[in-house]
Structure 1
């Protein structure tokens, strides 16, 4: 009887049910598989990296601006500026998402400008490409004693050459003619040339003067 049972088991294994004849997986093998899967998930997880740091000397003290990029980010994810008000080496106020701009977890960059008012202005740029159209925006953030405040935002770059073969549009704007506490202009050049005027409305920030002819409307 025992010989007949052994023969039937051997035939079953040869017939394609070999998995049933194998010994159960060891716990160590299962743990190794779980560890490898966890490591793969961790490598794909978004990670934040500071790509640029600048310090602005404001009338009320030092302000640190950090440009933060996110790895493994999607097209819809923006980069950001983290702004910290300092007292020596101590952070007294923190704004981790003071400015959010760009795509794929990154923004183009930023600079500090002191020509707009008594307070430093952070000028940040960022954009992306959507279906062959490339667009970028510029955001102006004033570093006031009570915290950073966005005072202006405008589309500063548009190019549809990736979507249009004949007569594509390409226009880029640059800030010019800054009048402290009063106004600034954006000179657009390229396929179409025009100038936009932004006038300050007190603490509310800057307002565009004129109609849509003085701004880009792509993307």
Structure 2
């Protein structure tokens, strides 16, 4: 589950850090609605808006099934049934849609991002990135929230994981919603570990939280629990890469 400290910042274009609308400190579980970014002042977000945005993004009302054109026979088919609008400034929006995969333990879910422009006549799609992030088990999509304190543009921060033979682990990805396109800045950041399901004695756990450093240049992941440490991620080209490597607990 996305950690409380990680969930402190949701998108508000007129505020540096604001809690997602309709939530307490802890964001929704993966089976519930994702953290919804509040609209900036003067923009009324309604379910009708999100329905119209989904129609414009996918060309159809939900549910929509999607499979990559070059998919292999054993690749997952995703079913997208809902989307959440994220304001990007002015009349520009991102629609983040959650995709449900298969029912098996090894089946992953996915997130899709569409860029939209709102006009007097409705929404117009300007870009589409289906299955930009995948992860999870039993077909569940990654949990996600929007943060404005890590990167110059709003960042889609995801978390996915699972439990294997009593070992539970989770990882985060960071996707920056730049004006032109979403860019995956880093993947597979360890943010959770718990082996209590596998050990009767000597169990250990660890939790990582993303913390801002210099926006657009670096951020850190601070670990607490039975293993502590700080991993600093610095921008190298298009990606943030770890510059420190403490000994962490991971599956």
For normalisation by structure 2, the TM-score amounts to 0.62
Query: Structure 2 vs 1, CA of residues 108 and 81 (structure 1 numbering), >3 Å: closer, same or farther?
Result: closer
The answer on whether the counterparts of 2:231 and 2:246 sit within 8 Å (CA) in structure 1 is no
- Cross-structure match for 2:171: 137
1: distance between equivalents of 2:116 and 2:82?
A: 20
Of the three residues 133, 144, 150, the one matched with 1:99 is 133
Query: Structure 2 vs 1, CA of residues 185 and 101 (structure 1 numbering), >3 Å: closer, same or farther?
Result: same
**1:71-113 deviation line (CA, Å, top 9, x unaligned):** x521111111110011221212111101111111113510111
Q: RMSD in angstroms over aligned alpha carbons?
A: 2.1
- Describe how 1:45-64 pairs up with structure 2 within 5 A: 48-50=79-81, 53-58=84-89, 61-64=92-95
Hey, which bits of structure 1, 4+ residues long, moved more than 6 A? none
Query: Structure 2 vs 1, CA of residues 206 and 47 (structure 1 numbering), >3 Å: closer, same or farther?
Result: closer
- Cross-structure match for 1:177: 212
Kindly indicate which of the two structures has a greater share of residues assigned to strand. Answer: 1
Q: Partner of 2:137: helix, strand, or coil?
A: coil
- Cross-structure match for 1:75: 105
Total equivalences in the alignment: 170
Kindly indicate which of the two structures has a greater share of residues assigned to helix. Answer: 1
Could you tell me how far 1:178 is from its partner in structure 2? 3.3
Q: Which is greater in Rg? A: 1
Could you tell me how far 1:54 is from its partner in structure 2? 3.5
For normalisation by structure 1, the TM-score amounts to 0.70
Question: Which structure exhibits the higher relative contact order, with contacts defined as CA atoms closer than 8 Å and separated by 6 or more residues?
Answer: 2
The answer on whether the counterparts of 1:114 and 1:120 sit within 8 Å (CA) in structure 2 is yes
**1:176-195 deviation line (CA, Å, top 9, x unaligned):** 13321121111111111211
- Describe how 1:152-191 pairs up with structure 2 within 5 A: 152-153=186-187, 154-191=189-226
**1:95-134 deviation line (CA, Å, top 9, x unaligned):** 1101111111113510111122331110001111111100
Is there any run of 5+ residues in structure 2 with no aligned partner, and where? Answer: 1-76
